Structure 1
Amino acid sequence: MLNRLLFQRIDNSSLIIFRIFFGILISLECFGAIATGWVNRNLIAPKFKFPFIDFDFLQPLPGNGMYFYFGIMGLMGICIALGFKYRASMITFTTMWTATYLMQKTAYNNHYYLLILISLILCFFPAERSRSIDVKLNPKIESNAMYAYIKWIVVLQLFIVYTYASIAKIYGDWLDFSTIAVLMHSKRNYWLVGDILQEPWIHTVIGSVGILFDLLIIPALLWKPTRKAAFFLSLFFHLFNSIIFQIGIFPYLSIAFSVFFFEPETIRKIFFKSKIPLTTSKVIIPNYKNILLIVAAVYFLTQLLLPVRHYTFEDDVLWTEEGHRMSWRMMLRSRQGKGRYKVVDKNTEEVFIINPKDYVSRSQERKIFAYPDFAWQFAQYLKKEFKEENRDVSVYLENSKISINRKPYEPFIDSKTDLAGETWYRTKHHSWILPSPYIKSEK
């Protein structure tokens, strides 16, 4: 049964059309990042980019180099859509996009991480075997079939993403819809819908649908009786997100995934009417079966464990942020922070009060007061800056307070801790993050 599920040969129309959609969308994302100023704001203008910890060696290209960098990624998207040098184009884009993701996290987005995973998976899929320039150049590679496991890998990845996204929403601030109220408050000036989005009943609908949609959409798309209804619901849901939250290509990428849930013959008739239909559905066991199963098992086990790693840390992830990233905890909170950075020369005891605006952008400034890893990295950055003046310093964040989901500000980071002298732990709670007041109040 497993062999039939994974190694049956099925029509590859869904993979081919997804390749085309994917290439177009990532090309728009990359060229759009240049046109909207995203590249300049996050990768060119700031003096310090706040890379993922352990990836300081990944630095943006100097000058206007990142414009060319994103231009190359955009061209790779066009090559992928056309199926020109597909494998090389896919690997190049995946490598460059992953580097971009790791070299700055001020504009972190779960969708950027998802794009890495999907790109990595596509590197191994035979998406160039039809309707591609590669086939024109080498007709021998043309095929109208693919293994069924290609479909199921995509489906399982999406199931993990949506299920964890749904589970993460089952917490107090989402269930009482206060998180939705905070999210919608920033949309109050939207033309036509701004006032409606402030209505409590709208918050109730959005919050309830958010949990149920993420939990049920994949099963609903898989089950034939509900597939069409689920598709149109998905279409509305993602277009709503695109209009209201303006999150780039990702609602459209989510819609594009739908092609893997419909019957292959249906996809062929819609997009490739002249494509030769697949008349047989043989089960053919590839010689790499065991390697595939081992690699897939390791990959998906990792995907299952990463989103729950925050349970291994002390305190609440909503407060500490430890284990938040790469966990599909999407749109769950709004954080604001405040405080004062104080630098003390260890030798002269001279004190310097730091104005963050002299070192970081406005968006970065918001992060260094509200997120512990940003606060730690900024302290390390200040230590390095002062070291260039032959000063050995300590760095303190005084009067540190944060507000989550517009609740009253609460003390956040221990003001007696020299952040410049602290070590960052990857799998251990940082004691200089003060205990969550929300857990105390619940007790």
Structure 2
Amino acid sequence: MKNILFKRVDNSPLILFRIIFGFLIAAEAWGAIATGWIKRTLIEPEFTFSFIGFDFLQPLPGDWMYAYYIIMGLTGLFVMIGYKYRLNIILYTVMWTAVYLMQKTSYNNHYYLLILLLIFMSIVPAHRYKSVDVKLNPKLKCHHMPNWVIIFIIAQLWIVYTYASVAKIYPDWLDATVPKLLMQGKSHFYLVGELLQQSWIHYSIAYFGILFDLLIVPALLWKKTRNLAFFISVFFHLFNSFIFHIGIFPYMSLAFTLFFYPKEFINRKFLKSKPFYDKADVVAPNYHKSLTGFIIIWLCIQFALPLRHWFIEGDVLWTEEGHRMSWRMMLRTKSSSTLIKIVNPDNNKTFYVQKKDYLTKKQQRMLAKPDGVWQFCQRLKEEYQSKGDDIEIYVRSRVSVNGKPYKPLIDPKQNMAQAKWDYFFHNDWVLLHKD
């Protein structure tokens, strides 16, 4: 294994990817300011739905989140030009991860993937050519990297795409229900809005999505299909960018193809002034056993995480238990009707919560998910306890998945002020239904 992982190969793909990656993460940070995402998601809400256990992570007060994102954008720019690369990529990783954990109202699998890529970029030697660091310290310059860099990123991408494909193999996707629902909100699009409502388009999206996710990595690895796969990727990702407005991810995905093409090709086309490294030497660092162990453990965790919902009672589409970090992308639409009743047993007073007094319209969508209901109830409990009131909270929540009839989600007899959240198994107060 040492001869495979630590064989030196030309580093042109990594150097070029660093430049593109730095530009994209800077655009992601500054784009969040320009589009109003920060205002809607982090400033306007009274509180955020953080990942459970990370409640201490809350947005900075006032307009300080703008400064936070300006700094993030600058670190991304420094990553692109390779200035104090290691410091800036680690700083962006920490800042991005903190924002990811402090809110999940705008949860997106791509945000999680970016964390993984940032960690990857934090440990690889991506600043050893075409960087300010090399200009300041010429001893850093080199034209090679260990082969594990290529293996690591391709294996990670294969896991992501394969699980995304497998997750789509369920009735509501196969009969094109989900693509149809997703396209209904695009009917106003110029030129293509009416076309996107056609049944054949819905079925094309459904089955093309399954096949693309399943086959794209093998197709890029095979020389005979690589160019075709690349052009299909361009169409697929630009379509997603135009239709779904999912930020930098489509362009990041296209940048991944750098790792699939021959290093000679990347060097010749994009880094002509860089000497090509074609030696076949193997140089393992003193810590190669620890690094090998880290790579194996990392990939095993990535392989195992998307499987966890199979060991939790209930349908993950309904309970959401085990949904996140599992590459279950754009698989369902949900709508809900939620009534939250507060009972004060000391004076027998009962009243219903006005959700709009606490939550933005976007945050109210979190009440279609059990963890969102639980967290909101804990927030209400804390508010009333601070006033000296020991309250009971009861929820009547009805949820529709993919346009199906509404069904009760939360046990209406459960006092949610006393409910516990189970991280690893099914929460009994989430009602299950047999179709």
Paired residue for 1:380?
378
Instruction: Please state if 1:371 is matched with 2:354.
Output: no
Task: State the Cα distance separating 1:284 from its structure 2 match.
Answer: 2.1
Paired residue for 1:408?
405
Task: State the Cα distance separating 1:231 from its structure 2 match.
Answer: 0.6
CA distance in 2, matches of 1:279, 1:362: 57
CA distance in 1, matches of 2:139, 2:284: 21
Q: Which amino acid letter does the alignment assign opposite residue 419 of structure 1?
A: M
Task: State the Cα distance separating 1:59 from its structure 2 match.
Answer: 1.3
User: Normalized against structure 2, the TM-score is what?
Assistant: 0.99
CA distance in 1, matches of 2:365, 2:275: 56
Paired residue for 1:41?
40
Instruction: Please state if 1:427 is matched with 2:428.
Output: no
Task: State the Cα distance separating 1:397 from its structure 2 match.
Answer: 0.9
1:111-168 per-residue CA deviation (whole Å, 9 max, x = no partner) reads 0000000001110000000000000000001001111110110000000000000000
Paired residue for 1:55?
54
Runs (5+) with no aligned partner, structure 1? none
- The alignment partner of 2:417 has SS state of helix
CA distance in 2, matches of 1:161, 1:145: 27
Task: State the Cα distance separating 1:286 from its structure 2 match.
Answer: 2.5
Q: Which amino acid letter does the alignment assign opposite residue 364 of structure 1?
A: Q
CA distance in 2, matches of 1:339, 1:136: 60
Tell me if the contact between 2:47 and 2:58 (Cα under 8 Å) persists in the aligned partners.
no
Paired residue for 1:258?
257
Tell me if the contact between 2:9 and 2:278 (Cα under 8 Å) persists in the aligned partners.
no
1:221-259 per-residue CA deviation (whole Å, 9 max, x = no partner) reads 011111111011111100000001000000000001110
1:348-389 per-residue CA deviation (whole Å, 9 max, x = no partner) reads 121121110001110011212x00000000000011111222
The share of aligned pairs that are identical, in percent, is 52
Task: State the Cα distance separating 1:4 from its structure 2 match.
Answer: 3.6
CA distance in 2, matches of 1:288, 1:240: 44
CA distance in 2, matches of 1:61, 1:193: 41
CA distance in 2, matches of 1:279, 1:193: 48
Matches within 5 A, 1:226-265: 226-265=225-264
Paired residue for 2:149?
150
CA distance in 1, matches of 2:284, 2:70: 41
Q: Which shifted more, 93-102 or 344-353?
A: 344-353
Task: State the Cα distance separating 1:431 from its structure 2 match.
Answer: 1.1
CA distance in 1, matches of 2:278, 2:162: 35
Task: State the Cα distance separating 1:80 from its structure 2 match.
Answer: 0.1
Paired residue for 2:203?
204
CA distance in 2, matches of 1:126, 1:64: 36
CA distance in 2, matches of 1:420, 1:18: 49
Q: Which amino acid letter does the alignment assign opposite residue 429 of structure 1?
A: H
- The alignment partner of 2:123 has SS state of coil
Q: Which amino acid letter does the alignment assign opposite residue 408 of structure 2?
A: P
- The alignment partner of 2:305 has SS state of helix
CA distance in 1, matches of 2:372, 2:278: 57
Runs (5+) with no aligned partner, structure 2? none
Task: State the Cα distance separating 1:104 from its structure 2 match.
Answer: 0.4
Instruction: Please state if 1:392 is matched with 2:390.
Output: yes
CA distance in 1, matches of 2:75, 2:361: 32
Tell me if the contact between 2:196 and 2:202 (Cα under 8 Å) persists in the aligned partners.
yes
Q: Which amino acid letter does the alignment assign opposite residue 410 of structure 1?
A: K
Paired residue for 1:179?
178
Task: State the Cα distance separating 1:339 from its structure 2 match.
Answer: 1.9
CA distance in 2, matches of 1:85, 1:332: 40
1:328-361 per-residue CA deviation (whole Å, 9 max, x = no partner) reads 0001000111021111112112112111000111
CA distance in 2, matches of 1:375, 1:386: 17
Tell me if the contact between 2:344 and 2:392 (Cα under 8 Å) persists in the aligned partners.
yes
Matches within 5 A, 1:336-355: 336-355=335-354
Task: State the Cα distance separating 1:291 from its structure 2 match.
Answer: 0.6
Paired residue for 1:65?
64
Tell me if the contact between 2:81 and 2:131 (Cα under 8 Å) persists in the aligned partners.
yes
Q: Which amino acid letter does the alignment assign opposite residue 238 of structure 2?
A: L
- The alignment partner of 1:421 has SS state of coil
